[in-house]
Amino acid sequence: MRCHRRFVRTAATAVLLLLAACRPAPPAPVRLEWLTMGTVAAVQCADAAAAPHVRDLAQRTFQSLDNDLSAWNPASTLCAVNAAAGTPRPVAVPPDFAAVLQAALGFCADSEGAFNPLIGPVMQAWGFNGGALHPVCPAAEDLVALLARTHWHDIHLTTGAQATVRLALPGMQLDFGAIAKGYAVDLAWERLKAAGHTNLLIDLGGNLRALGEAAPGRGGWRTGVRNPFQAHALAGKFLMRDGEAVATSGNYERFVEIDGLRYAHIMDGRTGQPVTGMAGVTVIAPDAATADALSTALFILGPQRGAALLRTRPGCEALWIPDTPERLTVLATPGFAARLTPVGDTPYRLTVVTP
């Protein structure tokens, strides 16, 4: 009798395993894309029926923020603040504008000015953001004059029932290009979660944040670290957990060429010079605004000083890829290194950087 029961249990287990093997895999998440905030936005949804609703709510969120934070819309709050620079009149700003500025000032202070929301005019001098079509390297005296208008202590932000902003010096210009998209992703994530949506991934120009998981039992959403030296190739993959955000800054998409040399769009706010020696930085953080800002700050600071900054940012991990096309090298904090899986035949040398 005992042998018979064992046989029955074994047979039942085999049937269950067979049924599990025959069960169809869950459908791939639906991805919807559109243009907004000067870039490509997308949502991926495990529930196909919910995808249009998710897209519409995300787009309304992105558009409302763009009306306040755009440097290209003359009617935006940002343009009004910049136009009033150097005058004694503070400009009333909405709560989201004040929140973005307050966060940007925090990253500016933590990075000792490497991350700087006033760097816009310097970028224009190098040919970015509407600068000269055929740029030349700015003269040293011109950079000194521009840098004199990038001191973040000259930004006066008041908060309360009505937030206001005043830029103390004429010619100062705020630019939230290194944090606004991350903040927009966070706001969309919060609104989607409050509306009862789950199991989706928000993407705004490469600023990602996960809600739930891509499929039952997956544990999150799988994403990759781009190989900056090979188009459409990844250096590795990792799993984004529920609520986590990821952002990447690189030298391979926006750059200018001057006298045969290529200069990336990421500027060191302390020197006014384009950053050299770094090809890409990817950051995992608890929210997208933090990931967005840190990816720029850590690109400028590099692995050693960047890892030191991360001590003040719990839950954040980072990965650096130096600009060495002849050999793919990866430097990562311990938490990132433990989660990274190589892709295909892409070999790289991994060094762990301790915060």
Alpha-carbon distance of 269 to 277, in angstroms, equals: 16
Across 267-293, average pLDDT: 96
pLDDT bin (cut points 50, 70, 90) of residue 42 is very high
Q: 10 pLDDT exceeds 50?
A: no
What local confidence, expressed as pLDDT, does residue 205 receive? 96
Predicted local distance difference test score (pLDDT) of residue 244: 98
Q: How far apart are CA 2 and CA 5, in angstroms?
A: 5
- Neighbouring CB atoms inside 10 A of 243's CB total 15
The mean pLDDT of the chain is: 91
Q: Cα separation of 182 and 204, whole Å?
A: 8
Asked if residue 24 has pLDDT above 80, the reply is no
Average pLDDT of 282-295?
A: 98
* pLDDT at 109 > cutoff 90: yes
| Model pLDDT, residue 130 | 79
Confidence of residue 23 (pLDDT cuts 50, 70, 90): low
State pLDDT tens for residues 252-269: 888 888 888 888 899 999
> Stretch 180-196: mean pLDDT, rounded?
98
Residue 49 pLDDT greater than 50, yes or no: yes
pLDDT score of 14 more than 60: no
pLDDT score of 89 more than 70: yes
Each residue's pLDDT tens digit, 116-135: 999 999 999 998 887 777 88
Percentage of the chain lying above the pLDDT 70 cut: 93
H or E element at residue 318: strand 317-322
Closest CA to 187 of 301, 332, 26, 64: 64
Q: Kindly report which listed range (97-106, 221-230, 254-263) carries the lowest average pLDDT score.
A: 254-263
Mean of pLDDT values over 6-22: 45
Domains of the chain: 26-71+177-212 (no CATH), 73-167 (1.10.3980.10), 220-355 (3.10.520.10)
Q: Long-range CB contacts (< 8 A, 24+ apart) of 146-149?
A: 146/121, 146/122, 146/272, 147/122, 147/271, 147/272, 149/118, 149/121, 149/173
